[in-house]
Amino acid sequence: MAAENLQQQERIPFNKPYMTGNELHYIAQAHGGAHLAGDGTYTRLCHKWLEQTTSTKKALLTHSCTAALEMAALLLDIKPGDEVIMPSYTFVSTANAFVLRGAVPVFVDVRSDTLNLDEKKVEGAITKRTKAIVPVHYAGVGCEMDDLMSIAERYQVGVVEDAAQAIMAKYKGRPLGVIGHLGAYSFHETKNVICGEGGALLVNSSDYMINAEIIREKGTDRSRFFRGEVDKYTWRMVGSSFLPSELTAAFLWAQLEQADGLTSRRLRLWNRYHEMLAELEVRGLLRRPIVPEHCDHNGHLYYVLLAESVDRQRVLSALKEEGIDAVFHYVPLHMSPYGRETGRSHENLGVTENIASRLVRLPLWLDLADDKQDYVVDRLKKVLLKVA
Protein backbone atom coordinates (compact mmCIF):
# COMPACT_ATOMS: atom_id res chain seq x y z
CA MET A 1 0.00 0.00 0.00
CA ALA A 2 2.70 2.47 1.02
CA ALA A 3 4.84 1.48 -1.91
CA GLU A 4 1.90 1.86 -4.23
CA ASN A 5 1.18 5.33 -2.89
CA LEU A 6 4.76 6.34 -3.36
CA GLN A 7 4.69 5.09 -6.89
CA GLN A 8 1.45 6.97 -7.49
CA GLN A 9 3.00 10.18 -6.17
CA GLU A 10 6.08 9.86 -8.25
CA ARG A 11 4.40 8.96 -11.49
CA ILE A 12 5.02 11.54 -14.17
CA PRO A 13 1.67 12.23 -15.81
CA PHE A 14 1.47 13.22 -19.44
CA ASN A 15 -0.25 16.51 -18.61
CA LYS A 16 -1.05 18.53 -15.54
CA PRO A 17 -3.12 21.72 -15.88
CA TYR A 18 -1.25 24.80 -14.66
CA MET A 19 -2.93 27.60 -12.69
CA THR A 20 -1.46 31.09 -12.54
CA GLY A 21 -2.97 31.74 -9.10
CA ASN A 22 -5.43 34.48 -10.10
CA GLU A 23 -8.19 32.25 -11.44
CA LEU A 24 -10.25 32.01 -8.24
CA HIS A 25 -9.84 35.71 -7.52
CA TYR A 26 -11.31 36.68 -10.88
CA ILE A 27 -14.09 34.09 -10.53
CA ALA A 28 -14.92 35.67 -7.13
CA GLN A 29 -15.07 39.07 -8.81
CA ALA A 30 -17.48 37.73 -11.42
CA HIS A 31 -19.50 36.18 -8.61
CA GLY A 32 -19.57 39.48 -6.72
CA GLY A 33 -20.55 41.38 -9.84
CA ALA A 34 -23.44 38.95 -10.29
CA HIS A 35 -23.08 38.77 -14.04
CA LEU A 36 -22.70 35.05 -14.66
CA ALA A 37 -24.01 34.57 -18.19
CA GLY A 38 -21.72 35.21 -21.14
CA ASP A 39 -20.39 38.45 -22.61
CA GLY A 40 -19.75 40.33 -19.35
CA THR A 41 -16.63 42.17 -18.20
CA TYR A 42 -14.24 39.21 -18.33
CA THR A 43 -15.42 38.05 -21.73
CA ARG A 44 -14.84 41.59 -23.01
CA LEU A 45 -11.34 41.64 -21.50
CA CYS A 46 -10.55 38.32 -23.20
CA HIS A 47 -11.94 39.53 -26.53
CA LYS A 48 -9.89 42.71 -26.38
CA TRP A 49 -6.74 40.81 -25.45
CA LEU A 50 -7.18 38.34 -28.30
CA GLU A 51 -7.94 41.08 -30.81
CA GLN A 52 -4.93 43.15 -29.75
CA THR A 53 -2.48 40.27 -29.44
CA THR A 54 -3.35 38.76 -32.80
CA SER A 55 -4.41 42.01 -34.56
CA THR A 56 -7.59 40.43 -35.82
CA LYS A 57 -10.86 42.23 -36.44
CA LYS A 58 -13.00 40.23 -34.08
CA ALA A 59 -12.44 37.49 -31.50
CA LEU A 60 -15.35 35.67 -29.89
CA LEU A 61 -15.05 33.31 -26.94
CA THR A 62 -16.77 29.97 -27.38
CA HIS A 63 -17.28 27.04 -25.05
CA SER A 64 -14.70 24.99 -26.98
CA CYS A 65 -12.56 24.98 -30.08
CA THR A 66 -14.98 22.38 -31.43
CA ALA A 67 -17.75 25.00 -31.07
CA ALA A 68 -15.62 27.61 -32.86
CA LEU A 69 -15.10 25.16 -35.76
CA GLU A 70 -18.85 24.46 -35.83
CA MET A 71 -19.46 28.21 -36.06
CA ALA A 72 -16.98 28.38 -38.93
CA ALA A 73 -18.89 25.65 -40.79
CA LEU A 74 -22.13 27.63 -40.33
CA LEU A 75 -20.49 30.89 -41.41
CA LEU A 76 -19.15 29.28 -44.59
CA ASP A 77 -22.67 27.97 -45.22
CA ILE A 78 -21.46 24.39 -45.60
CA LYS A 79 -24.19 22.23 -47.13
CA PRO A 80 -24.66 18.47 -47.56
CA GLY A 81 -22.29 17.15 -50.21
CA ASP A 82 -19.82 20.03 -49.94
CA GLU A 83 -16.19 18.96 -49.62
CA VAL A 84 -13.74 20.22 -47.03
CA ILE A 85 -10.02 19.52 -47.39
CA MET A 86 -8.14 18.66 -44.21
CA PRO A 87 -5.41 16.39 -42.89
CA SER A 88 -6.36 12.93 -41.67
CA TYR A 89 -3.73 13.32 -38.97
CA THR A 90 -5.82 15.51 -36.64
CA PHE A 91 -8.31 15.53 -33.79
CA VAL A 92 -11.88 14.45 -34.65
CA SER A 93 -13.34 17.93 -34.15
CA THR A 94 -11.62 19.22 -37.29
CA ALA A 95 -13.81 16.87 -39.32
CA ASN A 96 -16.88 16.62 -37.08
CA ALA A 97 -17.68 20.32 -37.26
CA PHE A 98 -18.13 20.04 -41.02
CA VAL A 99 -19.65 16.56 -41.06
CA LEU A 100 -22.39 17.95 -38.78
CA ARG A 101 -23.44 20.09 -41.74
CA GLY A 102 -23.36 17.13 -44.12
CA ALA A 103 -19.96 17.84 -45.64
CA VAL A 104 -17.51 15.22 -46.90
CA PRO A 105 -14.07 15.52 -45.34
CA VAL A 106 -11.40 15.06 -48.01
CA PHE A 107 -8.23 13.83 -46.38
CA VAL A 108 -4.90 14.96 -47.76
CA ASP A 109 -1.51 13.67 -46.65
CA VAL A 110 0.82 15.57 -44.35
CA ARG A 111 4.42 16.71 -44.82
CA SER A 112 6.96 14.40 -43.27
CA ASP A 113 8.85 17.27 -41.59
CA THR A 114 6.15 19.28 -39.77
CA LEU A 115 3.36 16.63 -39.93
CA ASN A 116 1.13 19.44 -41.24
CA LEU A 117 -1.15 19.38 -44.29
CA ASP A 118 1.03 18.97 -47.40
CA GLU A 119 0.27 22.16 -49.29
CA LYS A 120 1.67 20.63 -52.50
CA LYS A 121 -1.07 18.01 -52.49
CA VAL A 122 -3.99 20.32 -51.76
CA GLU A 123 -4.64 21.69 -55.23
CA GLY A 124 -5.03 18.18 -56.67
CA ALA A 125 -7.75 17.46 -54.12
CA ILE A 126 -9.92 20.41 -55.15
CA THR A 127 -13.16 19.69 -57.02
CA LYS A 128 -16.24 21.72 -57.95
CA ARG A 129 -17.68 20.80 -54.56
CA THR A 130 -14.76 22.04 -52.47
CA LYS A 131 -15.91 24.74 -50.06
CA ALA A 132 -13.03 25.05 -47.62
CA ILE A 133 -9.51 24.08 -46.63
CA VAL A 134 -8.84 23.44 -42.95
CA PRO A 135 -5.13 23.47 -42.08
CA VAL A 136 -4.24 22.21 -38.60
CA HIS A 137 -1.12 23.67 -36.99
CA TYR A 138 0.14 20.52 -35.33
CA ALA A 139 2.13 21.09 -32.13
CA GLY A 140 1.83 24.84 -32.66
CA VAL A 141 4.01 24.77 -35.78
CA GLY A 142 2.53 26.73 -38.69
CA CYS A 143 1.27 25.17 -41.92
CA GLU A 144 2.51 26.75 -45.18
CA MET A 145 -0.16 29.42 -45.05
CA ASP A 146 1.06 31.53 -48.01
CA ASP A 147 0.66 28.59 -50.38
CA LEU A 148 -2.67 27.55 -48.90
CA MET A 149 -4.08 31.07 -49.06
CA SER A 150 -3.12 31.49 -52.69
CA ILE A 151 -4.73 28.16 -53.63
CA ALA A 152 -7.87 29.22 -51.72
CA GLU A 153 -7.96 32.52 -53.55
CA ARG A 154 -7.54 30.89 -56.93
CA TYR A 155 -10.45 28.51 -56.33
CA GLN A 156 -12.53 30.89 -54.19
CA VAL A 157 -12.79 28.60 -51.17
CA GLY A 158 -12.65 29.47 -47.48
CA VAL A 159 -9.73 28.78 -45.15
CA VAL A 160 -10.44 27.88 -41.53
CA GLU A 161 -7.33 27.48 -39.41
CA ASP A 162 -7.65 24.83 -36.76
CA ALA A 163 -5.27 26.68 -34.45
CA ALA A 164 -6.38 24.72 -31.37
CA GLN A 165 -2.75 24.10 -30.45
CA ALA A 166 -1.31 27.31 -31.82
CA ILE A 167 -2.01 30.26 -29.52
CA MET A 168 1.03 32.62 -29.38
CA ALA A 169 2.72 30.82 -32.29
CA LYS A 170 3.63 32.58 -35.55
CA TYR A 171 4.14 32.00 -39.26
CA LYS A 172 6.45 34.53 -40.93
CA GLY A 173 5.87 36.83 -37.99
CA ARG A 174 2.06 36.65 -38.16
CA PRO A 175 0.06 34.98 -35.38
CA LEU A 176 -1.44 31.63 -36.34
CA GLY A 177 -5.23 31.69 -36.37
CA VAL A 178 -5.55 35.06 -38.09
CA ILE A 179 -4.19 34.27 -41.55
CA GLY A 180 -7.18 32.26 -42.82
CA HIS A 181 -10.67 33.75 -43.16
CA LEU A 182 -11.53 32.20 -39.81
CA GLY A 183 -9.43 30.63 -37.06
CA ALA A 184 -10.14 28.59 -33.94
CA TYR A 185 -8.25 28.38 -30.63
CA SER A 186 -8.75 25.88 -27.83
CA PHE A 187 -8.48 26.56 -24.11
CA HIS A 188 -9.05 22.93 -23.12
CA GLU A 189 -7.02 21.94 -20.06
CA THR A 190 -4.49 20.10 -22.23
CA LYS A 191 -3.60 23.21 -24.23
CA ASN A 192 -1.14 26.04 -23.49
CA VAL A 193 -3.64 28.57 -22.15
CA ILE A 194 -6.62 27.00 -20.43
CA CYS A 195 -9.99 27.42 -18.76
CA GLY A 196 -11.12 23.80 -18.49
CA GLU A 197 -13.23 23.73 -21.62
CA GLY A 198 -13.15 26.78 -23.85
CA GLY A 199 -12.19 28.21 -27.20
CA ALA A 200 -12.32 31.25 -29.44
CA LEU A 201 -13.32 32.00 -32.98
CA LEU A 202 -11.11 34.53 -34.74
CA VAL A 203 -13.09 36.38 -37.39
CA ASN A 204 -10.41 37.63 -39.75
CA SER A 205 -12.53 38.44 -42.76
CA SER A 206 -14.99 41.30 -42.40
CA ASP A 207 -17.51 39.27 -44.45
CA TYR A 208 -18.30 37.19 -41.39
CA MET A 209 -18.27 39.78 -38.61
CA ILE A 210 -21.99 40.36 -38.23
CA ASN A 211 -23.13 36.78 -38.79
CA ALA A 212 -20.53 35.38 -36.39
CA GLU A 213 -22.12 37.28 -33.50
CA ILE A 214 -25.61 36.24 -34.57
CA ILE A 215 -24.77 32.54 -34.93
CA ARG A 216 -23.11 32.57 -31.50
CA GLU A 217 -26.18 34.15 -29.85
CA LYS A 218 -28.77 31.54 -30.85
CA GLY A 219 -29.29 33.07 -34.27
CA THR A 220 -30.37 36.43 -32.86
CA ASP A 221 -28.93 39.94 -33.07
CA ARG A 222 -28.81 40.20 -29.27
CA SER A 223 -25.18 41.41 -29.29
CA ARG A 224 -26.13 44.39 -31.44
CA PHE A 225 -29.14 45.06 -29.20
CA PHE A 226 -26.89 45.19 -26.10
CA ARG A 227 -24.65 47.69 -27.87
CA GLY A 228 -27.71 49.80 -28.69
CA GLU A 229 -27.35 49.30 -32.45
CA VAL A 230 -30.87 47.91 -32.88
CA ASP A 231 -33.94 48.63 -30.72
CA LYS A 232 -35.05 45.01 -30.27
CA TYR A 233 -33.50 41.67 -30.98
CA THR A 234 -34.99 38.82 -32.93
CA TRP A 235 -34.32 35.57 -34.77
CA ARG A 236 -32.17 36.33 -37.80
CA MET A 237 -30.67 33.04 -38.95
CA VAL A 238 -29.74 29.54 -37.84
CA GLY A 239 -27.53 29.58 -34.78
CA SER A 240 -26.89 28.02 -31.43
CA SER A 241 -25.50 28.88 -28.02
CA PHE A 242 -21.75 28.97 -28.44
CA LEU A 243 -20.72 31.41 -25.70
CA PRO A 244 -19.11 30.47 -22.38
CA SER A 245 -20.24 31.87 -19.02
CA GLU A 246 -18.41 34.67 -17.25
CA LEU A 247 -17.03 32.15 -14.74
CA THR A 248 -15.12 30.49 -17.55
CA ALA A 249 -14.04 33.83 -19.00
CA ALA A 250 -12.81 34.98 -15.56
CA PHE A 251 -10.65 31.86 -15.29
CA LEU A 252 -9.37 32.37 -18.82
CA TRP A 253 -8.49 35.99 -18.15
CA ALA A 254 -6.10 34.91 -15.39
CA GLN A 255 -4.30 32.82 -18.00
CA LEU A 256 -4.34 35.20 -20.97
CA GLU A 257 -2.79 37.91 -18.80
CA GLN A 258 0.22 35.65 -18.40
CA ALA A 259 0.25 34.03 -21.84
CA ASP A 260 3.76 35.31 -22.62
CA GLY A 261 5.25 33.76 -19.51
CA LEU A 262 3.34 30.52 -19.95
CA THR A 263 4.66 30.24 -23.50
CA SER A 264 8.28 30.93 -22.66
CA ARG A 265 8.22 28.40 -19.84
CA ARG A 266 6.87 25.77 -22.19
CA LEU A 267 9.48 26.63 -24.79
CA ARG A 268 12.21 26.22 -22.21
CA LEU A 269 11.05 22.66 -21.42
CA TRP A 270 10.65 21.92 -25.13
CA ASN A 271 14.20 23.11 -25.82
CA ARG A 272 15.57 20.99 -22.98
CA TYR A 273 13.99 17.86 -24.49
CA HIS A 274 15.27 18.85 -27.90
CA GLU A 275 18.85 19.21 -26.73
CA MET A 276 18.87 16.12 -24.58
CA LEU A 277 17.38 13.93 -27.32
CA ALA A 278 19.82 14.97 -30.04
CA GLU A 279 22.06 12.05 -29.19
CA LEU A 280 19.30 9.49 -29.76
CA GLU A 281 18.59 11.06 -33.13
CA VAL A 282 22.25 10.75 -34.10
CA ARG A 283 22.11 7.09 -33.13
CA GLY A 284 19.14 6.62 -35.46
CA LEU A 285 16.72 5.60 -32.73
CA LEU A 286 14.28 8.43 -33.21
CA ARG A 287 13.62 11.65 -35.08
CA ARG A 288 13.02 14.91 -33.27
CA PRO A 289 10.43 17.55 -34.33
CA ILE A 290 11.39 19.82 -37.22
CA VAL A 291 10.41 23.49 -37.02
CA PRO A 292 10.94 25.54 -40.20
CA GLU A 293 12.98 28.76 -39.90
CA HIS A 294 9.99 30.96 -40.60
CA CYS A 295 7.82 29.42 -37.87
CA ASP A 296 7.89 30.49 -34.22
CA HIS A 297 6.22 27.63 -32.40
CA ASN A 298 4.78 27.73 -28.88
CA GLY A 299 6.18 24.56 -27.32
CA HIS A 300 2.71 23.05 -27.22
CA LEU A 301 3.88 19.46 -27.28
CA TYR A 302 7.09 17.48 -27.58
CA TYR A 303 6.98 14.37 -29.71
CA VAL A 304 9.51 11.95 -31.12
CA LEU A 305 9.13 9.68 -34.14
CA LEU A 306 10.58 6.31 -33.22
CA ALA A 307 12.74 4.49 -35.75
CA GLU A 308 10.69 2.12 -37.92
CA SER A 309 12.38 -0.88 -36.35
CA VAL A 310 11.20 0.08 -32.85
CA ASP A 311 7.98 -1.41 -31.46
CA ARG A 312 6.08 1.61 -30.12
CA GLN A 313 3.77 -0.34 -27.88
CA ARG A 314 6.73 -1.90 -26.14
CA VAL A 315 8.26 1.54 -25.59
CA LEU A 316 5.03 2.98 -24.15
CA SER A 317 4.58 -0.01 -21.82
CA ALA A 318 8.20 0.05 -20.69
CA LEU A 319 7.92 3.78 -19.92
CA LYS A 320 4.70 3.15 -18.02
CA GLU A 321 6.57 0.64 -15.87
CA GLU A 322 9.11 3.34 -15.13
CA GLY A 323 6.27 5.61 -13.95
CA ILE A 324 6.14 7.75 -17.09
CA ASP A 325 2.93 8.43 -19.02
CA ALA A 326 3.95 8.90 -22.63
CA VAL A 327 1.23 8.65 -25.27
CA PHE A 328 0.69 8.13 -28.99
CA HIS A 329 -1.29 10.61 -31.08
CA TYR A 330 -4.19 10.36 -33.50
CA VAL A 331 -5.51 7.27 -35.11
CA PRO A 332 -5.69 8.88 -38.59
CA LEU A 333 -9.28 9.84 -39.36
CA HIS A 334 -9.31 8.02 -42.71
CA MET A 335 -8.61 4.78 -40.81
CA SER A 336 -11.30 5.36 -38.16
CA PRO A 337 -14.70 3.67 -38.53
CA TYR A 338 -16.60 6.93 -39.00
CA GLY A 339 -13.92 8.55 -41.12
CA ARG A 340 -14.12 5.65 -43.57
CA GLU A 341 -17.88 6.05 -43.72
CA THR A 342 -18.04 9.82 -44.20
CA GLY A 343 -14.72 10.84 -45.70
CA ARG A 344 -12.67 10.40 -48.83
CA SER A 345 -8.89 10.16 -49.10
CA HIS A 346 -7.08 12.09 -51.78
CA GLU A 347 -4.35 9.78 -53.12
CA ASN A 348 -2.55 7.61 -50.63
CA LEU A 349 -1.85 8.88 -47.16
CA GLY A 350 1.46 7.12 -46.75
CA VAL A 351 3.18 9.77 -44.64
CA THR A 352 0.17 10.04 -42.33
CA GLU A 353 0.04 6.28 -41.76
CA ASN A 354 3.77 6.08 -41.23
CA ILE A 355 4.15 8.92 -38.71
CA ALA A 356 0.97 8.07 -36.83
CA SER A 357 2.37 4.62 -36.08
CA ARG A 358 5.73 5.95 -34.82
CA LEU A 359 4.84 9.04 -32.84
CA VAL A 360 5.22 9.30 -29.06
CA ARG A 361 4.43 12.42 -27.03
CA LEU A 362 6.44 12.98 -23.87
CA PRO A 363 5.17 14.60 -20.65
CA LEU A 364 5.31 18.39 -20.93
CA TRP A 365 3.60 20.67 -18.44
CA LEU A 366 4.67 23.84 -16.74
CA ASP A 367 5.53 22.52 -13.30
CA LEU A 368 7.51 19.58 -14.67
CA ALA A 369 10.78 19.84 -12.72
CA ASP A 370 14.07 19.63 -14.58
CA ASP A 371 15.14 16.50 -12.71
CA LYS A 372 11.86 14.77 -13.60
CA GLN A 373 12.39 15.73 -17.21
CA ASP A 374 15.96 14.41 -17.07
CA TYR A 375 14.51 11.18 -15.70
CA VAL A 376 12.09 10.89 -18.67
CA VAL A 377 14.97 11.29 -21.11
CA ASP A 378 17.15 8.88 -19.21
CA ARG A 379 14.45 6.18 -19.14
CA LEU A 380 13.58 6.71 -22.79
CA LYS A 381 17.27 6.18 -23.65
CA LYS A 382 17.41 3.05 -21.57
CA VAL A 383 14.22 1.62 -23.08
CA LEU A 384 15.23 2.42 -26.65
CA LEU A 385 18.67 0.88 -26.30
CA LYS A 386 17.04 -2.23 -24.93
CA VAL A 387 14.32 -2.67 -27.56
CA ALA A 388 16.27 -1.50 -30.61
Q: Which residues bind ligand PLP (CB under 6 A)?
A: 64-66, 90-91, 93-94, 136, 162, 164-165, 186, 188, 199
To ligand PLP, the closest distance from the beta carbon of 166 in angstroms equals 9
Task: Choose between 197 and 257: whose C-beta lies nearer to ligand PLP.
Answer: 197
Instruction: Report whether 63 contacts 243 (CB < 8 A).
Output: yes
- CB closer to ligand PLP, 42 vs 91: 91
> Minimum distance between the CB of residue 346 and ligand PLP, rounded to whole angstroms?
19
d(CA 145, CA 152): 10
* Contact criterion met (CB below 8 Å) for 352 and 121: no
Helix and strand numbers (H, E) in the chain are 15, 14
Residue 97 CB, shortest distance to ligand PLP, in Å, is: 9
| Residue with smaller CB distance to ligand PLP, 72 or 318 | 72
Q: Per residue in 331-370, is it b (16+ CB within 10 Å) or e — as a string?
A: ebbbbbeebeebbebbeebebbbebbebbbbbbbbbebee
User: Which residue type sits at 201?
Assistant: L
Q: What is the smallest separation between the CB atom of 387 and ligand PLP, expressed in angstroms?
A: 29
Nearer Cβ to ligand PLP, position 199 or 289? 199
Rounded least distance, CB 213 to ligand PLP, Å = 20
CA distance 64 to 77: 20
Quote the CA–CA distance of 54 and 75 in Å, as a whole number: 21
Residue 93 CB, nearest distance to ligand PLP (Å)? 4
Q: Which is nearer to ligand PLP, 69 or 305 (CB)?
A: 69
Residue 90 Cβ vs ligand PLP, minimum distance, rounded to whole Å: 5
Cβ nearer to ligand PLP, comparing 94 with 245: 94
Q: Report whether 139 contacts 270 (CB < 8 A).
A: no
Q: How far apart are CA 144 and CA 265, in angstroms?
A: 26
Question: Closest separation between CB of residue 309 and ligand PLP, Å?
Answer: 29
List % helix, strand, coil for the chain (3-state, nearest 5): 45, 15, 40
Would you say 66 or 114 has its CB closer to ligand PLP? Answer: 66
Judged by CB, which is closer to ligand PLP: 136, or 256? 136
To the nearest whole angstrom, how small is the minimum distance from the Cβ of residue 244 to ligand PLP? 11
Neighbours of 329 (CB within 10 A): 17
**Widest pairwise Cα distance in the chain:** 72
Residue with smaller CB distance to ligand PLP, 212 or 333: 333
Nearest distance from residue 65's CB to ligand PLP, in Å?
3
Q: What is the C-alpha separation between 7 and 322, in angstroms, rounded?
A: 10
Give whole-number Cα distances, 75 to 65, 85, 98, 208, 279, in Å. 15, 17, 11, 7, 48
From start to end of 256-373, where are the E strands? Answer: 286-287, 295-296, 302-306, 344-345, 359-362
Contact (Cβ atoms closer than 8 angstroms) between residue 73 and residue 182: no
Task: Using the minimum distance from each CB to ligand PLP, give the nearer residue, 65 or 351.
Answer: 65
